[in-house]
Structure 1
Amino acid sequence: MSEEVIPVDHLITLADLLFKLSNETDKSNTTEQILQIVKENDMAPYYEYLTENYSNSFKRDAQLVSELQKKNEEKHKELKDKLADVEENFGENEVREALLSIAEYHHKIGDKEKALEAYRQTTEKTVALGQRLDIVFAIQRIGFSWLDMDLLRRNIEKAKSMIEEGGDWERRNRLKVYEGLYLLIVRNFKGAASLFLESIATFSSSELLSYERFVFYTIIVSMISLERPEMKKRVVDSSDILSVVGKIPHAADYLNSLYNCQYRDFLVALVDITDEMKKDRFLSRHVHHYSREMRIRAYSQFLESYKSVTLSSTADQFGLGVIFLDQELSRFISAGRLNAKIDKVGGIIETNRPDAKNAMYQQVIKHGDQLLNRIQKLTRVVDL
């Protein structure tokens, strides 16, 4: 992890606080936090957005609006005057810096559309690849702040294309974190896990999220994506993860209980960890899906050790009632998610492991038939 810690972009912090606000009963403390950030950054456009879209929590204060708008107008005039001066008296690099200052100010006060337009104008005056990439990262942070998925998708693809032109090592690592977070949001957990694990030792994207939050995301996506041996090597024994996992609520219990086959403890930890996910703006949408998939993973891991096992002993291992377990396993089996069948008369679960060698043999036969058919068609064409 980089020693330099840049604060998380305040637009992302505000978006997280608004999500928290929507799930709270007592909203006064969070409301005050949001207003403090708005006032500290003179965010007149963002304050207008709050009063229009969260009117139950933010009543329009005409005096505050007037004060913020006055500060914005004064700063805009200062920046525009500076731009006019450098356009007349200086070179392209100074013009570019003046345009960037305007873009960053619109970004700061939460004026999304003007910020995007100003960043576009700055890009047109920017030659250096690294500086153009920094602008794309800034636009991506706007996308994460407003959850503008189209904006994110387009600019992640743009950044990947630019990196291929010769982006430096630090920006390559930053892009992995940005792209990984996008993949997490769109539920591509395997892709997110791969990118997060590649960048965990060199994390330098503190402007996007804190390192602890990044490790939390890494654990979440790795648990659902990695096979057990890889999980042990890359997550359970990772010094980078071990250094902070104790600071993340329930993460250590969740991570270790499944690997150590402590299934009763795992289900308790899963409930705790999904409660934490519900509090997260990016993870909350995945809670139901994630909980189901992790239960399937735990059942599969347990059943792999047996050719047959009683329902009662399985229920005891997981700390569940026999009836509930029977219903849950039946649902997963009928959906083709578990390779097993239940003998209700005998109260036994019989595993039905797929024969990997037989499956491979059938696959070879299938591809062989396709190849022969193509050769026959080719032969007829050649004969003609």
Structure 2
Amino acid sequence: MSTPKIVLTELTRVQLAESLAELGIDSRAIKAVWNGVYVRGLTDFSQMDTLARKTQAKLAEHFTLARPTISRELISTDGTRKWLLEWTDGQRVESVFIPETDRGALCISSQIGCTLSCSFCHTGTMRLARNLTAAEIVAQVLNARDRLQEWGRKRTECLCTNLVLMGMGEPLFNYDHVARALRIIMDGDGIGISRRRIMLSTAGVVPMIERVGRELGVNLAISLHAVRDDLRNELVPLNKKYPISELLRACREYPAASNARRITFEYVMLKDLNDSDADARELVRLLQGIHAKVNLIPWNPWPGAAYQTSTPERIQAFARNIGEGGFSSAVRATRGEDIMAACGQLKSEAENLPPSLLQLQR
């Protein structure tokens, strides 16, 4: 039986160097391979024209550069794109690109499904199938650059400038693979997305938060959504294990936080549930002593959900209270709602969407 090929995008640069050395490949090939995969977007070793043919053949014998299959691509009326990617075991995951005028954010997933069961989140209705590997996390970035035709452009010309781990799954329940993937993505000689342009969102896996700041130094977002433990226990059941007081203590101690790099607290606005002036004032009190800003998210509906979105007037009043309390707040614009690509709507199961939205079908 032949040995399975190594997925090259699973390896950091150091790991790649070790693997090439074991195969007797000259260390000078590392730069050509890394550049070929992460700067030129190549998917075939024979395209790496600075390598000798024998080296190309040996690489092809031991490694694969295969991309996931794109099962479906949906493009919203506002330009948001959602990709349903399928892996070799048949499992599927979604990632979303949200464009702005001169930049764009790619929202990627870290797990197939989710164990958090947050009651307001569509992804939370899925069972966890498995963690994504580092290569599968990196592949979401490579796929976006494929589809946006960004290979060969200067970084200043690319629209895929920011990365947010806010897709399917809880990143800190898959930390080792997420960390390896981010080290590959942040490598300055490759994809080169700066840690300052990467945001990792967690529902509050308290023991892992300090490690994220110390080892990765990326921006942190906390899915808070309530100011009382009883309500947060309902909305974010992980709160039963790591209550608000413990979560906020970890945020105060987050190594990568500063006045210039504040922790983002995500707060979904649910009508008559967590959107009162009293809730806003309590949020201000809770955030004292933290380099923080608040991101208010109008709840995005999905079939069968029991919640309603706060009115625009109530959201604005909530935001004013936050501002008067000394914290910056922003109301997140809903993007991609017509293709179920908005915050909290990702789910990899087939959806009944209008044929006009189906841009690519296998």
Q: TM-score, normalised by structure 2?
A: 0.25
Q: Which has the higher strand share?
A: 2
Between structure 1 and structure 2, the one with the greater Rg is 1
Q: Which has the higher helix share?
A: 1
Higher relative contact order (CA closer than 8 Å, sequence separation 6+)? 2
